[in-house]
Amino acid sequence: MDMHKSVKAPIGHVQFCRDNGWACPNERYEPVVVRLDEARWNELIAINADVNRRIHPMTDTDLFGKEEHWSYPVNGYGDCEEYVLEKQRVLIKAGWPKSALLITVAKDTQNSGHAVLTVRTDHGDMILDNQIEAVLPWYSTPYRYIKRQSASSPVKWTGISDTRVTTVSSVSN
């Protein structure tokens, strides 16, 4: 991913950090890239699948009574942000470095806002998603990436220049 200058954090992430200060320490990390050997790859796939299986989709409006709210899953329910936050939490607990696990905001195929988890590896940035079961390199997903957490601080965000060309099917007259 081609990273740009600092940008504002999503309002939902700001609220999440205010409510869960322990999860968003205002500290700096040395950015790292995870060496993705077979054991790490299998662990990544297993954790992604496990979280996707444990959380059932429900909108913030239905769950919290408001359009946008970031939190850890509530009674096994949540939208994309709850999946991402839970995946990040489980991976950190499993010993993965925080600076390699970055919440990322994108536009999905319907041009709606969507959150995924980017894992920085020696094989490139991999995406953990609740809409696509497979763990994929970022460029193999159908999303247009907007911004993500900084690898050096969980409260800072960086813009993404996603200049990939999208294809459009032919249109008949």
CATH of the domain at 9: 3.10.620.30
For residue 172, pLDDT over 80 is answered with no
Residue 106 lies in a domain: yes
Per-residue pLDDT tens digits for 99-148? 999 999 999 999 999 999 999 999 999 999 999 999 999 999 999 999 99
Please state, for a pLDDT cut of 70, what percent of the chain lies above it: 92
Residue 101 lies in a domain: yes
Per-residue model confidence (pLDDT) at position 164: 67
Q: In angstroms, rounded to a whole number, what is the distance separating the alpha carbons of residues 9 and 157?
A: 6
Residue 47 lies in a domain: yes
* Full residue range of the structural domain in which residue 58 is found: 2-161
Q: What is the mean pLDDT of the chain?
A: 92
Per-residue model confidence (pLDDT) at position 26: 85
Residue 166 lies in a domain: no
Q: Read off the pLDDT band of 165 (50, 70, 90).
A: low
Q: Which residue has the tokens 């999440």?
A: 16
Q: What share of the chain is helix, strand, coil (3-state, %, to 5)?
A: 30, 30, 40
For residue 166, pLDDT over 60 is answered with no
Residue 168 lies in a domain: no
For residue 168, pLDDT over 70 is answered with no
Q: In angstroms, rounded to a whole number, what is the distance separating the alpha carbons of residues 83 and 86?
A: 5
For residue 3, pLDDT over 70 is answered with no
Residues 6+ away with beta carbon under 8 Å from 67: 60, 61
Per-residue model confidence (pLDDT) at position 2: 64
Report, as an integer, the average pLDDT of 68-89: 96
Residue 167 lies in a domain: no
> What total of structural domains would you count in the chain?
1
